[in-house]
Chain A
Amino acid sequence: MSDEQEVLRATARDFVSAHAPVAHLRELRDRGDPIGFSRSLWTRMAELGWTGVVLPEEYGGSGLGYAELGIVLEECGRTLVPEPFLSTVVLGSSALLLGGSEDLKRKILPGVCSGDTILALAHQEYGRFAPYAVSTRAVGSGDGIRLDGSKTFVLDGHVADYLVVVARTSGTPGDRGGLTVLMVPATARGLSVERTIMVDSRNAATVRLEGVMVPASAVLGVVDQGADLLDLVFDRGAVALSAQLFGCLAEAFERTLRYLKTRVQFGVPIGSFQALKHRAVQMYCEVELSRSIVLEALRAVDEGRADLPRLASAAKARTSDTAGLVTREAIQMHGGIGMTDEEEIGLFLKRARVAELTLGDGSYHRDRFARVSGY
């Protein structure tokens, strides 16, 4: 890691522990905050350059890479920071950056960098991540495009200023061809958004589109070939989410390790029992492999490597499965205290479960890894 990256990590860790510890999420949850994160904190994160970390300088970003974004996301993952990184900085911005017209980029990306604009990607329609299983229709109508359909599990959809909507312009649900990606302002007529309260106290929404009209200039990428854009966006999303999830699982592991050293039963720390030691080592092994594949995948995005799809799936599968293992073991090893709402470890279990399912779990990514590997 370079000196600059070390400084970034230290800065991120200090900022997050001072301003966005786990208590920040708990407080938002307990007071039933209507947006579910802190606008003022988001603005301060923008001032630190975190929202534009991977965006080019011409749009107000800092033009760094995923290696740097990964550092910020890992640190945010450690305290379960609920601010809208994945939706806005990764999914929404990538779709726009990789597929948007110059006009659209100039119009929207500076707001992302300043923290004023929130984006959300509305792709999923069923209970499981299936990027081409889209039946929401987009049909040419007059000199615009008409959208009808519904979306579920739209991360930060309830506060987004723009929704990046995946719609079908030809073919049938499940076809890779025939998808089109469109930028829809939240103020569009016929768009209704309903917040859903998730187990991790973070934000998602159900979105309904009934005769929503957008101009032809709202298309990102190429009509009917939206999957080409989406594949890139989902790979970046999977890598970024893996980095964040890695922070979450590494923290859960380290907290559990501390507990093993301090909790005394039968007159000795429970971490002296071999039954627990060996399980702790097995977790550590998985944690280290997760760390390695996440770093490798982040680097692959920055280097534009051709094997990114395989690495992205390997990273998401590994962190999803490891997060499941570590948080299950964390609760078991914390014993009764881990079952209480007061102890923070349970919040890691909840977050890990949602992140595991977001953008595809281990089983999805093994299938996808096999497909992109040609078997």
Chain B
Amino acid sequence: MSLEAFRSEVRAWLEENCPASCREPVDGSPRRAPLPSDLVLWRRRMGDRGFVCPAWPTEYGGGGLGATEARVVAEELRRIGAEPASSGFGVSMLGPVLLEHGTPAQKREHLPPIARGEIQWCQGYSEPGAGSDLASLQTRAVRDGEDYVINGQKIWTSGAQSADWIFCLVRTDPTAPKHEGISFLLFDLRAPGVTIRPIRLISGASPFCEVFFENVRAKARNLIGKENGGWTIAKRLLQHERTMLASGVAVREAGPSLSALARSYLGEVGGQIADPILRDRVAQLEMDRLCFDAARRRSAEAARSSQGPGHAVSVLKLYASEMSKRSSELVIAILGAQGLGWEGDAFSPFERAAVREWLRSKSATLVGGTSEVQMNVVAKRVLALPD
């Protein structure tokens, strides 16, 4: 089938199967949260069609498509502003790692539920004492027959309150050097002994949680890779995470353009944004996005021709997150006093959302490794600067 024929087929399928509340309203009305029943339906249809993970093999519930076709699916989903049928953690991070490092049994057990959008995953990495210095993590897992028994605490666990399972870094050998005593373990968050507590952030939202483990039992067959060999897998997963974060920025910023915003809030003089300094900043940022998009395409081409994302991805994550912060700063600057609102009708829903987005965006350079950690990685792995 030609690519164009495939595209029209995908388009027609989406037209028929994507519920109205799970996509950008066609009449231009403001978007509302999807209906929970629609979301369930949408997940099931996407999963059955193999479009949640279009590039995965069909035996694991994927669509078995080539990279080009998979991109067409992603483009068509973006075109209608479709709600993601599954969170990114299973699809973009754990899935690729399992495909590379999982045993056939592990793949058969865990990949299909991800590809059907049935199981939502979260990431148990950071701990109160292990942020940038992730490898100093202390959560213990002790082997007991066919199980591991887990005690400890994770923090900044995105989406834990709505997740079903967790992929978790645990310390299995406290006497080994810190990188060599870590294992990569999967377990059910509904197991006895798990406590999840959302954290309220400066933006008012609670996307992150603290997760506590008290004698939680996990099946030893869900250890990925070797015992004490988890650090390599953890790092590999971080590369996939950075790819996801770098691509997320472009998607999120597909909304109203900065220049349109600036025109409406600052006015025009002779067809130009009235404030020359803010106009210059808008142009700078829009050019930066052009450059970034060109770099991302180049990196994606390079990744397709080799084995998955390379360390150069760290540069993109670094730039994307800094750019996302600057973008939010600029939106607030353009809104002026209307960019200071928190609640109430003196501010439009867009303005209130912009303020919260500005606060949220501060995390862009913290999650998935701070900018400083990314710079350390690039300095060492890409530029080969000495320790």
Contact = CB atoms under 8 A, between A and B. Distances in A.
Q: Do A and B bind each other?
A: yes
Interface of A: 257, 260-261, 268-269, 271-272, 274, 277-278, 280-282, 284-285, 288-293, 295-296, 310-311, 313-314, 317-318, 363, 366-367, 369-371, 373-375
A18 to B, nearest CB: 27
A292 B286 contact: no
Interface in B336-387: 372, 374-376, 378-379, 382-387
Contacts of A295: 294, 298
A318 B287 contact: yes
Closest 4 A/B residue pairs (Cβ): A292-B295, A292-B294, A277-B379, A366-B283
A313 B287 CA distance: 9
Contact of B295 (A274, A278, A289): A289
Given A271-B385, A289-B295, A373-B283, 8 more contacts: A260-B385, A277-B376, A281-B383, A292-B294, A293-B294, A370-B279, A370-B283, A375-B282
18 contacts: A260-B385, A271-B386, A277-B383, A280-B379, A285-B378, A288-B312, A289-B291, A289-B292, A291-B295, A292-B291, A293-B295, A313-B287, A314-B290, A317-B287, A363-B280, A373-B286, A375-B262, A375-B268
A269 B386 contact: yes
A193 B382 CA distance: 49
A269 to B, nearest CB: 5
Contacts of B74: none
Interface string B267-296: 010011100000110111011101110110
B212 interface: no
B128 to A, nearest CB: 24
Given A366-B284, A369-B283, A375-B279, A280 B385 contact: yes
B7 interface: no
A250 B318 CA distance: 20
Contact of B382 (A260, A271, A284, A313): A284
B319 interface: yes
B274 to A, nearest CB: 10
Contact of A296 (B259, B283, B294, B383): B294
A271 B378 CA distance: 13
A257 B378 CA distance: 13
Contacts of B283: 366-367, 369-370, 373
Nearest to A272: B386
B279 to A, nearest CB: 6
Contacts of A281: 315, 318, 374-375, 378-379, 383
B386 A293 contact: no
Nearest to A318: B291
B272 A370 contact: yes
Contacts of B386: 261, 268-269, 271-272
B387 to A, nearest CB: 6
A261 B385 contact: yes
A375 B266 CA distance: 12
A375 B297 CA distance: 27
Contacts of B273: 370, 375
A269 B383 CA distance: 14
A278 B262 contact: no
Interface in B299-320: 312, 315, 318-319
B263 interface: yes
Contacts of A296: 290, 294
In terms of DSSP, what is the predominant structure of the interface of chain A?
helix
A284 B314 CA distance: 11
A138 B9 CA distance: 60
Contact of A370 (B282, B294, B318, B374): B282
A277 B385 contact: yes
Given A370-B272, A370-B279, A284 B378 contact: yes
Contacts of A280: 379, 383, 385
B315 A314 contact: no
Contacts of A310: 290
B375 A292 contact: no
B371 to A, nearest CB: 9
Nearest to B272: A375
Contacts of A318: 287, 291
B282 A272 contact: no
A74 to B, nearest CB: 15
Contacts of A290: 291
Contacts of A293: 290-291, 294-295
A291 to B, nearest CB: 8
Q: Tell me which of B284, B379, B384 has the highest count of chain A C-beta atoms within 10 A of its own C-beta.
A: B379
Contacts of A374: 259, 271
Interface string B214-231: 000000000000000000
A247 to B, nearest CB: 17
A314 B382 contact: no
Nearest to A368: B283
Nearest to A307: B290
B294 A272 contact: no
Contacts of B282: 370, 375
A284 B383 contact: yes
A317 B291 CA distance: 11
A374 B291 CA distance: 19
B287 A369 contact: yes
A285 B318 contact: yes
Contacts of B279: 370, 375
A290 B284 CA distance: 14
B118 to A, nearest CB: 39
Contacts of A371: 272
B315 A284 contact: yes
Contacts of A282: 375
A284 B265 CA distance: 36
Contacts of B312: 288
Contacts of B291: 289-290, 292-293, 314, 318
A4 to B, nearest CB: 18
Interface in B139-157: none
A370 B290 CA distance: 13
Contacts of A289: 288, 291-292, 294-295, 319
Given A277-B375, A277-B385, A373 B294 contact: no
B131 to A, nearest CB: 17
A367 B276 CA distance: 9
A54 B273 CA distance: 38
